[in-house]
Amino acid sequence: MAKVTPAIQKADNCEVAAIASRDLGKAREAADKLGIAKAYGSYEELFADPDIDAIYNPLPNHLHVPMTLAATRAGKHVLCEKPIAITAREAEELRQVPEGRLVMEAFMIRFHPQWQRAREIIRSGELGDVRAITATFSYFNNDAGNVRNQADIGGGGILDIGCYPVTTGRFLFESEPQRVVSLVEHDPVFGTDRLASAIMDFDQGRRLTFTCSTQLVPHQRVLVQGTRGKLEILIPYNAPADERTAITIDTGAPIDGSLARREILPACDQYTEQARAFAAAVLGETPLPYGVEDAIASMKVLDAIFRSEKSERWEAV
């Protein structure tokens, strides 16, 4: 929320009018710091405010579905943090969202120019037939009090950051994986998954392989390989808002890579672009980029990863 709220405030079609917490003092402190006019001591008060059109839901994972449903039933649209739920079955409850209310899962990377350019290059055929994507995403966090390390409320690396490689494959292949196989290690104290690797089979000879961890040195990379070339997104997931980003494209260079080129993308706050796109849909100016069904599809992949951990075999999505 520390990054997202100021980013929403920068969007020209958004106004952050209120903030809520279960602790009114914390809500007011945050509101004063961010220049937000209203502060509420409960989420229900926020939902009841007739001046609020849409809600951003950054709560811990186990509260994503119930609070999103409560907000939509109060007449609000919802931009909900990823993962949208803890399981696909829970995500399917969002099909009960009242007609006319919009719900979008907050995968901000889809709105960054580097991801849009990468997909454009893949679509162009410059890389040939794209067959393999490799993704890595890790950070180090062993704080027992952090929600990411609390298994009973949806903590762990797969739900927190493994969902990004899942989105990577779905976004760049523009299709759904058919089956997955995984290997997962759990923290002996927290019970959360702290190191996970998986292979996602997208059929037609296409696969994505990823590793994510909550207890490794911070690192992230995405490598896309085709029959005629490869593409790498250097800072795929946490692209800095105030710095330019780069992707490299190599279409048959010698081993030393001398024929590779680098494309520089302008500085972009992907959270602002996400907010702008969501607001445009709320205002009826553009269609919603993706909605509840897309989020359910993503959760089905995550479910299959967890099932494969237990079965030790390929699991259908």
Which DSSP category does 49 fall into?
-
Radius of gyration of the chain (CA): 20
The rounded Cα 154 to chain-centroid distance in angstroms is 15
Nearest 5°: CA angle at 92, between 136 and 306? 40
- 3-state class of 218 per DSSP? strand
Cα–Cα distance measured from residue 74 to residue 285, given in angstroms and rounded to the nearest whole number: 23
Cross-strand partners of 134: 209, 223
Go through 121-130 and write b for each residue having 16 or more CB atoms within 10 A of its CB, e for each that does not. bbeeeebeeb
Residue 114 CB contacts under 8 Å (≥ 6 apart), including other chains = 233, 236, 239, 245, 246, 247, 265
Residue 272's φ and ψ, nearest 5 degrees, are -65, -45
DSSP three-state, residue 157: helix
> Which residues form the catalytic set?
82
Residue written as token pair 């409850």? 93
Sheet arrangement for strand 130-140: 261-265, 245-250, 230-233, 215-226, 130-140, 207-213, 193-201, 179-186, 315-316
